[in-house]
Amino acid sequence: MTAETWGWWIAAFLLVLDLVIRATAIIVIPRNRRPTAAMAWLLAVFFIPFVGVFLFLLIGNPRLPRARRRKQDQINEYIAETSENLHFGTLRPNAPAWFGPVVQMNQKLGALPLSGDNGAHLISDYQESLDEMAEAIRTAQEYVHVEFYILQSDEATDNFFRALEEVCARGVEVRVLLDHWANRWKPRYRETVRRLDAMGADWHLMLPVQPLKGRMQRPDLRNHRKLLVVDGVVAFLGSQNVTDSTYNLPKNIKRGLHWVDLMVRLDGPVVLSVNAIFVADWYSETDTVLEGIDITHADIGSGDLDCQVVPSGPGFEVENNLRLFLGLLYAAKKRIMIVSPYFVPDEALLLAVTAAVDRGVNVELFVSEEGDQAMVYHAQRSYYEVLLKAGVRIWMYRKPYILHTKSLTIDDEVAVIGSSNMDMRSFGLNLEVSMLVRGEEFVTEMREVEDKYRSLSRELTLEEWMQQPLRSTVLDNLARLTSALQ
């Protein structure tokens, strides 16, 4: 066979392969996927077939492996059965008519009930929150559960780690979960795990990408949760990682970037729900059921707030956090305050925000003036024009600080705080934890934090935004297209 004939056969084979790839993509990709995500993947496959197929096989599945999802189903069934007839504190009277259905939805999706008689205290100072967690750890008598997306032993967190060492020395069980991909390539990783080993902590990586050990899923699925539980009596959750406010990254230090976060200290029955999240993640990563950890009985807390913990992520069938946000946005009558460092809404969320303005609701969005992740930062910017034209007020927290808090307050009675951003990654790819709180006193605390953020921000106006150079608009819109690849 001549070289020319071989060339024709190879060309014919590649043509047929290309047609098969395109036809298969049309059948496979749109199934159970958002139209925007399906269209983005189809465009990738059609314009760059072989690269597009490789990327789809690598990161095209937004769900955890089936075995991991079965574990989540087992956990949900257990929580639902054990909490069905339990009394978790006394709930506040006179809830808005819409509140009950939202709570019911959350429990159906995430299994965890609404509880009353809870205390909650916000901590907005970065170092103070690390030190308060350290002091809570030092009170431990039985166990300490630590679960953070990023966990680093450094000068800022030394008190936190010393507290863990002290309780370990007293025989307290210290269990630690940290995300594999978020920590493995970061500064201080080796020092951190050596310190955990030296103190005797039982630690494990979350969502490890270790194909040689048979542990493999989409590599950019991450456990983004941040929580701490001490003896099932006190808990902390929020947006802050256990690391220096620069994350110890040379690029951040060079730019002078520091993270601004918000944590909440909890006591009362809601601590059982936070502990249930840890117990579930521990089981998912270790196949070990923590015997003797009671997630069904708790003393009343220092306040009378109603709280419900809402887990979300690729282990669930739907986006639990997105549905919570949508329910609250459509329920708002007077005010909506959104704090999200990465605000990249899907169509439903964007419609809910702009429709709220049309109903006469005052809507304000707090973001950072400077971004730490280029693609997300530019994707977020692509929505500013439509938001400003709709009447949303946008506050940009002044650089070199990255406003990393994730919160939502509705009117004067309901708030959400946790680890979840309002972007495609938090809705579909990250394991997150959010907490719904009902109580005017807690919302008042949240308003004080929002007022502080506003005083340290500048307002972005539509007039200023429309003067953006064309190159910025093009870059923003290109980044917006990539955000749909889920």
State pLDDT tens for residues 333-348: 999 999 999 999 989 9
Mean pLDDT of 352-377: 94
Mean pLDDT of 481-485: 60
Q: Which residue has the higher pLDDT, 123 or 318?
A: 123
- Non-local CB neighbours of 127 within 8 Å, separated by 6+ positions: 156, 245
Whether the predicted model's global pTM rises above the 0.85 cut: yes
> Which is it for strands 401-403 and 258-260: parallel, antiparallel or unpaired?
parallel
Question: Using one digit for the tens of pLDDT, what is the confidence trace for 429-469?
Answer: 899 999 999 999 999 999 999 999 999 999 999 999 999 88
Q: Which residue has the higher pLDDT, 208 or 483?
A: 208
Q: What is the CA radius of gyration of the chain?
A: 23
Q: Is the peptide bond before 400 cis (omega within 30 degrees of 0)?
A: yes
What pLDDT is attached to residue 328? 98
Question: With bands split at pLDDT 50, 70 and 90, how would you rate the model's confidence at 162?
Answer: very high
Q: How many CB atoms lie within 10 A of CB 10?
A: 10
For residue 65, CA distances in Å to 62, 149, 218, 330 come to 10, 20, 9, 33
Which ranges of 48-200 does DSSP label H, i.e. alpha helix?
49-59, 66-83, 99-110, 126-138, 158-169, 180-184, 189-199
Question: With bands split at pLDDT 50, 70 and 90, how would you rate the model's confidence at 78?
Answer: confident
What pLDDT is attached to residue 36? 64
CA 299 to chain centre: 29
Q: Comparing C-alpha atoms, which of 206, 276, 190 is closest to residue 237? A: 276
What pLDDT is attached to residue 74? 79
Question: Using one digit for the tens of pLDDT, what is the confidence trace for 199-224?
Answer: 999 999 999 876 666 566 667 789 99
What pLDDT is attached to residue 183? 94
